[in-house]
Structure 1
Amino acid sequence: MNGSKGVSLTRYLIEEQRAGRINGDLRLLIEVVARACKSIAHAVSKGALGGVLGDAGTDNIQGEVQKKLDVLSNEILIEANEWGGHLAGLASEEMDHCQPIPNVYPKGNYLLLFDPLDGSSNIDVNVSVGTIFSVLRCPDGVTEPNDEHFLQPGKTQVAAGYTVYGPSTMLVLTVGHGTHAFTLDREQGSFVMTQRDMRIPGDTKEFAVNMSNLRHWHPPMRRYIDELLAGKTGPRGKDFNMRWVASMVADVHRILTRGGIFIYPRDLKEPDKPGKLRLMYEANPMAFIVEQAGGAATNGYDRILDIAPSKLHQRVAVFLGSKNEVEIATRYHRETQ
């Protein structure tokens, strides 16, 4: 555990505050998000016993069918965060627009964005799902933030993280000084650091992509995957394995743990969309986490964290993980511009 044994999330955050890397409000905000994730972990772990499986009977802003746990997780995160005094507003993948903090509560200087339950199509089959979150500063002088105030490039994030609800519940966090993993100790009820300064190797032999979309891919994407599939006898000179969970949190967590490249490209199935994943709720926080672990993240052409968002639910193609693989895939796309 790299000398981190016994360091709780609270202690880690206090030490970061004492070092001047975060302030008290950001520390408390992250602790509140972590507590909310513990509540979601409890609901997820009950599964059918808690009556939380199945569809909610509603669609979200993207027209996707919401699961009961999508709605419940969204409510847990909102209720936990709106009264603490650390936020000016919050936005969720499950809501049409951002939500300002009600006037009955004190307001802070941060904006919180989250995907309350990523990979929720896996809930009913008992496969790992997760929560992704991103923290931005509220622009100076803004007391009633609206959607436009959230439209900041990913490089302005002050913190990002995800929780993966798997055999163990893990929180992976960055505040801009490395990426660190915390595991939920259910007996103590607290997250304890189990890996400090996670590092993604530059080279890999694993890739994560939905191969069923191959026929819809653009030529540079097909070229890249064809080379991986050609193995030792192909231009890459080595065999690659494919791993695909269809839960971004689970796939990215594997890459942070042992390397790999995760790809969700734009395709011809929906040619009017620049990608499938959401820039603000998924791509930006994951790109921040991955870069802080020595990896890279692009949309096939540009660094994700440099993209200037134009709308709250903007979509984007995603190539992230082991730096050398991301650079090759990105180069192939740039050559066709």
Structure 2
Amino acid sequence: MFNSDQLTEQYRRSAKEIHPAPGHEENIRTLYESDRMRRGRSKSLKPVAVKVLLALVVVVVFSGFNRYIWLKISDHRMSLHYSQTNTRIDNAELSSAIHRELQQVEASLGVGEAAIAYLPELAKWNAMDKKKGLVVVSNPTVITDLSAWKTILAKNTPEFKLPTETSTGLEFVGGKEGPPFGGFISLELQELLPELTRESEEQGGKIAWRKVIAENQSHSYTTLYRNDRQDVIYVSMQLIDQKTDIRIGTGLMESEEINVHGAKAHYLQTQPFFFADSNRVQEIQWLATFEKYTLLYSVGSDSSTLTKEELLRVALELK
């Protein structure tokens, strides 16, 4: 499970090595004001907004002073932040090249195996934090029997919900433990960064990777479906049972607040997206809060033809 205390300590150590350029406070203020105007806000900066700005400062510092826009999904137990940068991340050709490299790693894995990979080009996007050049690749075991998969879900996420196949026209493909793409990068896996970096440099800047033990440390469970056009649609649930702060950096992202049976949800579209052939992913995310845990629902697809409306119809089936 995500350990916010360990992450905080890592940030503190890394901060001592960072020396911001002169005038960075004014740059951050300018970025904030431009984003505030973009969102149509005209009120003066109040104390509560200052806290947001301070959080923005931390992210900008650790990301080379790129422009970030925050999106937050949270309840009393967990907080999920998305940050977006406009610097070089719109390079679709490079994103596709990374995707091909990850496919080669996955092809070398047996069923149920996983690997941690260091991508030097991805690290260049995040020069202030090379750990963001690490990616988890897996070839998960897929459960193709729906009854057996529901048993696993009931054991691990008792309040789980899935769409009804008869009303949506979806065909169950299988279920896997873990998120739809990538995987959880633990502090132990991050310790492999120096070794993988050296190996990559010795190989002339090529990808370097190691097999690792495949563990569902994120407590995520993903159910896969196909529609009549053979688009793959996933329903993913992540169980959060303690105070958790998750921060995710993305490529160019579009977001829209929508309603799913009274719950505030967010429609997200990210492009480029190097985990997919289509170089694109879209999903609807919301939280279901229970007494002892929170479920983060994600209904999404990397299809290049699926519409937001089709995705929303599936999300609305999770009653």
Same fold (TM over 0.5): no
TM-score (ref. length: structure 1): 0.30
TM-score (ref. length: structure 2): 0.31
Task: Considering fraction of residues, name the structure with more strand.
Answer: 2
Which of structures 1 and 2 has the larger relative contact order (alpha carbons within 8 angstroms, sep 6+)? Answer: 2
